[in-house]
């Protein structure tokens, strides 16, 4: 059976809540959840997205696809996750098609957590973080290469090399 290809914009409201706690030190922002992520019900749910494999290498842990296990992993490593965009018009999962953006409300994260740095997973996330959030929170944000399967330019080992910068912000202060 052939899968229906979406060719028209749909207005989508972000279906996920941000994940963070008081000791979260870094915030990783995607752009907007893909169709597969929305179906899965948690961040980076597309099976070909390399976010989770990158995290496994960086933290030398193996993870299943269990959402609760992934949540506990992120919180244990003081990582907060959310997206730059709360609502938009989008065709399928294409960041390039995003229009009519309403930014996410990041205030609850910054008011609760001890965020030291924001990392943006890809160019679209970075663009909208800079446009709507960077000045408000006084953190410029660091753009990392997207872990999306659409970013075929980067192999896993290259992503790991670029993403290891996050570890510098997780070292306990003496």
Q: Record the tokens describing residue 79, joined without a space.
A: 């990582």
Highest mean pLDDT among 5-14, 88-97, 123-132: 123-132
Q: How confident is the model at residue 92 (pLDDT cuts 50, 70, 90)?
A: confident
High-pLDDT (> 90) share of the chain, %:
80
**What dihedral angle (degrees, nearest 10) is formed by the CA atoms of 52, 55, 59, 64?**
-10
Measured distance CA(157)–CA(74) in Å, rounded:
21
Q: How confident is the model at residue 6 (pLDDT cuts 50, 70, 90)?
A: low
- Angle at the Cα of 40 from the Cα atoms of 123 and 2, rounded to 5 degrees: 90
């Amino acid at each position: 059976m052939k899968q229906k290809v979406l060719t028209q914009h749909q207005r989508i409201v972000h279906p996920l809540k941000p994940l963070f706690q008081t000791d979260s030190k870094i915030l990783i922002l995607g752009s907007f959840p893909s169709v597969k992520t929305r179906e899965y019900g948690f961040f980076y749910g597309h099976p070909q997205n390399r976010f989770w494999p990158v995290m496994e290498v960086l933290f030398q842990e193996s993870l299943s696809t269990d959402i609760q296990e992934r949540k506990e992993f992120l919180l244990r490593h003081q990582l907060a996750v959310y997206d730059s965009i709360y609502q938009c018009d989008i065709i399928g999962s294409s960041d390039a098609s995003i229009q009519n953006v309403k930014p996410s409300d990041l205030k609850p994260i910054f008011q609760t957590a001890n965020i030291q740095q924001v990392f943006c997973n890809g160019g679209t996330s970075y663009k909208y973080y800079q446009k709507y959030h960077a000045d408000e929170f006084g953190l410029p944000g660091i753009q990392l290469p997207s872990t999306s399967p659409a970013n075929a330019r980067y192999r896993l080992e290259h992503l790991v090399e670029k993403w290891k910068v996050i570890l510098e912000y997780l070292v306990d202060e003496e």
